[in-house]
Amino acid sequence: MFRNQMPRYEILSADAVAVLDKGWRRIVSEIGIQFAKPEAAELFRKAGQQVDGDVVKLDPEFVLEQVAKAPAEFDVQARNPANNVHIGGDQMVFGAVYGSPFVREGEVRRDATLEDFRKLSMLSQSFPELDSAGGVICKPNDAPLDSRHLDMIYALQTLTDKFYMGNVVSGPNAADTIKMTEILFGGRAAIEATPATISLINCNSPLRWDDRMLDAQFEYCAANQPVVLTPFLLMGAMSPVSIPAALTQQLAEALSGIALAQLIRPGCPVIFGSFLSNIDMQSGSPSFGTPESGIGLLCTGQLARHYGLPFRTGGGLNSSQTCDAQAAYESLMTLLPTFLAGTNWVMHSAGWLEGGLVSCYEKFIVDIELLRMLRVEFTPLEIDEESLAFGAHEYRPLLSSTANYERWLKLGGKDATARASDIVAKKLEEYEQPPLDDSIRAELEDFVTRRRAELGD
Amino acid sequence: MFRNQMPRYEILSADAVAVLDKGWRRIVSEIGIQFAKPEAAELFRKAGQQVDGDVVKLDPEFVLEQVAKAPAEFDVQARNPANNVHIGGDQMVFGAVYGSPFVREGEVRRDATLEDFRKLSMLSQSFPELDSAGGVICKPNDAPLDSRHLDMIYALQTLTDKFYMGNVVSGPNAADTIKMTEILFGGRAAIEATPATISLINCNSPLRWDDRMLDAQFEYCAANQPVVLTPFLLMGAMSPVSIPAALTQQLAEALSGIALAQLIRPGCPVIFGSFLSNIDMQSGSPSFGTPESGIGLLCTGQLARHYGLPFRTGGGLNSSQTCDAQAAYESLMTLLPTFLAGTNWVMHSAGWLEGGLVSCYEKFIVDIELLRMLRVEFTPLEIDEESLAFGAHEYRPLLSSTANYERWLKLGGKDATARASDIVAKKLEEYEQPPLDDSIRAELEDFVTRRRAELGD
């Protein structure tokens, strides 16, 4: 966890915020939002909103009343209390890449496996720059589809002692995640008192929350586990090719999802989510690390603060196929604005490649180095008379040159990717599994075995 | 030229600025600054300052009186008026890498030649992101030492129609640059009225302005040609390992050099220079793209504005040996703060590699792409009701995906460096030399031939 005490870089005028505010109000009240789960529509109907099938037209004031119930800041516990985090305020919390079906290891790009999932979890455990391995750090394609969520949660619980993200593929998967979290943390009451997971609920943009995600959201909100309500916007595909229009749509989607969360369980923790980039308007392919996404990111932070909500944006996003110059600069083109915006929960902080299709081992290391540098850069200078005295050499040592990983940047003779590959091997070799009580481990294993059998895998 | 209308990212409190202000006053008045040219010391002596040999102890108020004579903004003309620039205010002006003895072309690193100098000048002409090829875009090691400044200036004058930097190796070299500029622009009066060059005067830090640089400064200031008075600070070598102390030293050096300029010719244009990074404290080697240099850059901008001066910082600085991930992220770690600070004159904007030892063709292309992206990112959003209307797709097209060079980022199948190599070849093939009046060309050639003979080459 990093406390970002540097100034926020805000680029929206009060007038611009007012225009965007008017915009989402018009969308939710005139067009409405689709909630593809009858229980969701029913909650809105009971609360006096206008429901037509699964489309809900929302009174903006009602939405804001619900949003006001969400806590501005909250804690998430890890099984190692040293790794507990606080979401909101000037805190920044970082998780690794999420959702990639492929991995890249050096020159090889291939299907991700459970072994990759475990190795990437171990790497996430190894680096203090990450507060969480995240959730689906890659998709373990060699594990049976119906039960692989159990394998993933078990790996995150046992190979790391950091908090982890819950599975959101279905309601039952979410329930399994919660059950396993109860086992690890000593029961439902313990995790309802202080959440132990964060889960990603993506909007099926434009303007649609779909059934499987909503099923998962209902489980998590009911258990007081925070969800990140995230409009999934690639401008030119899921939203207009206009940053203001996309920001407006993002507000309509995120705030409506947050309102639902507060109907499920008033006061439950939520995070204003943003995943905002654009497609290439000539090929239609997704682009990351674009200037437009950087601008959107800065605006998103300002808007989330305007509505009093912790927020998620950013990460080491890029469209490159290899861990080359493009991968590096597109990633930093996203990560540096992430720090300028003071993002509270940063997914995809390490390992993202090829538009998120790939979890890359070498890129993971490069991203860790970027995070390390940015933490130094966003630590305020303390300047007083003493800092100018002779002998002030002890003052604020040059962190960038005394702590870099294995001094890999200075080794020369190989390019950065080859050196990163060496670091991966070394870190995996040095990895030590965090200790876990045997009875808890046994209970987790029993649960996984039983559920796997029930699921027929 | 780019007008940066986004907010400046300022991180120094008023108290911190006051501490730094007090610091440079103490250095110039108690320790003094060395000016290794008798005419310089004599100017200070005549102006009532305390001179002991070549060390001048300066009254800070006197320094600020001189600094106040420097224009806050000024124009620099190019032979193509479309390429004229304005230095100061919210304008950002960009030049290519400067001073590298080596070039890298793909896998080959070798001594730079005059042919490289010409090719890099042609590339600089080709890209609108650069306002100038700069000056010593590489060191043409195959041209005779005493007369190579003539070859370089001639190449810059004829292969580009943008403004160029003057040679600063000696007073006579500076005089030759001015003479050739007079020929190109129609006489001394024309370039005294509106300068046509910018020249880099580096401080031999700590606290020493050396004779050769001062000889050049005297020539340029007398001709009303702007000089960039630049403390050359690698923290841990030429300044303390402390950002506040380095900033203080930087102020003492830059302001004293600017005061001298105003004694040479009151009102002559100057630029507050900054070249501020750090050495690796374990190896002693220079490091670039470090967080400390990013912080220093942001502070430098704020301080230059405090003293009412246009300023130079930043560029695509990095320590990498190849155009790899490290080269890219270190460069952006410098270039993005360059835009946040609103730097007026940005040297080393394209092609810098290996701590400035190398001008790299492929890195040149990568940097151009970074500049293109950052220009988009630092263009303010205009948000009004209209921007949210249906059909607003025409609003602010996604520049990042419609204008990229040859769509090279999207070609795939090769890494970014290999693709950059293709762009270099294509751009050199497409290059068109800007037209120049035959009589002017003949006059320039006559001058070069005559001076070359005088110099015995």
Rounded Cα distance, A157 and A161, in Å: 7
Asked whether residue B209 carries a pLDDT value surpassing 90, the answer given is yes
- Give the predicted TM-score (pTM) of the model: 0.96
In this prediction, residues B299-322 reach a mean pLDDT of: 96
The phi, psi pair for A228, rounded to 5°, reads: -100, 105
Write the pLDDT tens digit of every residue in A319-368.
Answer: 998 999 999 999 999 999 999 999 999 999 999 999 999 999 999 999 99
What are the backbone angles phi and psi of residue A307, rounded to the nearest 5°?
Answer: -95, 10
Q: Which residue has the tokens 């292969």?
A: B159
A324 and A417 in contact (C-beta within 8 Å)? Answer: yes
N-to-C CA span, chain A: 38
CA distance B419 to B408: 6
What is the DSSP secondary structure assignment for residue A29, as one 8-state letter? I
**Residue B60 confidence (pLDDT):** 98
Question: Given this model, what pLDDT does residue B389 score?
Answer: 61
Tell me the chain A residues in contact with residue B109 when contact means C-beta distances shorter than 8 Å.
none
Q: What is the pLDDT of residue A419?
A: 84
Q: Is the pLDDT of residue B391 over 70?
A: no
pLDDT for res A383 = 87
The answer to whether residues B350 and B367 touch, using CB atoms and an 8 Å cutoff, is yes
Per DSSP, helices labelled H in B307-415 are 325-341, 361-377, 399-402
Structure-model confidence comparison of residues A382 and A299, the more confident one: A299
Helix-strand-coil split of chain A, %, nearest 5:
50, 15, 35
Whether the CB-CB separation of B134 and B347 falls below 8 Å is answered with: yes
Output the pLDDT for position B401.
44
Q: Which residues of A touch B385 (CB under 8 A)?
A: 19, 22
The three-state secondary structure class of B335 is helix
Q: What's the average model confidence in pLDDT over A270-289?
A: 89
pLDDT tens digit sequence for A285-302: 888 999 999 999 999 999
**CA B36 to chain centroid:** 24
The amino acid sitting at B381 is L
Nearest to A35 by CA among A59, A15, A47, A53: A53
- B34 phi/psi in degrees, rounded to 5: -90, 125
| B410 vs A192 pLDDT, higher one | A192
Confidence band of B413 (pLDDT split at 50, 70, 90): low
Is residue B431 within 8 angstroms of chain A, CB to CB? Answer: no
The H or E element that residue A405 is part of is none
pLDDT at A284: 79
Instruction: Work out the average pLDDT over B394-399.
Output: 42
Give the Å distances, CA to CA, from A323 to A315, A357, B366. Answer: 15, 13, 15
pLDDT category of residue A403 using cuts at 50, 70 and 90: very low
Which residue from A155, A36, A102, A85 is spatially nearest to A312, judged by alpha carbons? A85
Contact check, Cβ <8 Å, B416/A320: yes
Bridge-based pairing of strands B55-57 and B50-52 is: antiparallel
pLDDT at A448: 98
E-assigned strands of A95-248? 102-105, 108-111, 164-165, 197-202, 208-209, 227-230, 232-235
| Among the partner residues B235, B397, B401, nearest to A287 by beta-carbon distance | B401
Q: Using a CB-CB distance cutoff of 8 angstroms, which residues of chain A are in contact with residue B280?
A: 401, 410
Helices (H), A108-210: 114-126, 148-159, 171-185, 188-193
- CA nearest to A203, candidates A260, A135, A147: A260
Please give, rounded to a whole number of angstroms, the shortest distance from the CA of B371 to a CA of chain A. 11
Q: Are B304 and B273 in contact (CB under 8 A)?
A: no
Q: Give residue A301's Cα distance to chain centre.
A: 14
Average pLDDT over residues A19-48: 97
Of A290, A393, A409, the CB nearest to B400: A290
- Residue B155's identity, in one-letter code, is A
B332 touches chain A (CB under 8 A): yes
- Separation between Cα atoms, residue B284 and residue B355, nearest integer Å: 13
Average pLDDT over residues A135-149: 97
Q: What is the mean pLDDT of residues B383-405?
A: 53
Residue B199 three-state SS? strand
Residue of chain A minimizing CA distance to B407: A282
Say how many CB pairs under 8 Å bridge A and B.
250
- pLDDT tens digit sequence for B252-264: 999 999 999 999 9
Tell me how close the Cα of A107 comes to any Cα of chain B, in angstroms.
11
φ, ψ at B177 (rounded to 5°): -60, -45
Structure tokens at B200: 């880099």
Percent of chain B scoring above 90 in pLDDT: 84
Residues in chain A within 8 Å Cβ distance of B242: 387-388, 392-393, 395-396
Angle at A347 between CA A346 and CA A349, to 5 degrees: 85
pLDDT over 90 at B382, yes or no: no
DSSP helix/strand/coil, B57: strand
The mean-pLDDT minimum among A210-214, A388-392, A408-412, B119-123 falls in A408-412
Q: C-alpha A275: how far from its chain's center?
A: 9
End-to-end CA distance of chain B, in Å? 38
- pLDDT bucket at A391, cuts 50 / 70 / 90: very low
Mutate to test the interface with B, among A20, A298, A326 (most CBs of B within 10 A): A326
Kindly tell me if the per-residue pLDDT of B442 is higher than 80. Answer: yes
Is the N-terminal amide bond of B206 cis, ω within 30° of 0? Answer: yes
Q: Any CB–CB contact under 8 A between B5 and chain A? A: no
The one-letter amino acid at A7? P
Task: Give contacts of B 120-159 with A, CB under 8 A.
Answer: none
Answer for the pair A313, A320: CB distance below 8 angstroms, yes or no: no
Contacts of B11 in chain A (CB under 8 A): 6-7, 380-381
Smallest Cα–Cα separation from B360: which of B414, B413, B294, B316?
Answer: B316
Closest by alpha carbon to B217, among B194, B198, B196?
Answer: B198
**Amino acid identity of A277?**
S
| pLDDT over threshold 50, residue A243 | yes
Is residue A397 very low, low, confident or very high in pLDDT (cuts 50, 70, 90)? very low
pLDDT for the residue numbered B403: 41
A107: Cβ contacts below 8 Å, ≥ 6 apart: none
Structure tokens at A232: 């999934």
H/E segment holding residue B285: none
pLDDT in tens, A164-206: 999 999 999 999 999 999 999 999 999 999 999 999 999 999 9
Considering only the beta carbons, identify the residue of A366, A376, A412 that sits closest to B325. Answer: A366
**Number of Cβ atoms within 10 Å of the Cβ of B284:** 10
A412 band by pLDDT with thresholds 50, 70 and 90: low
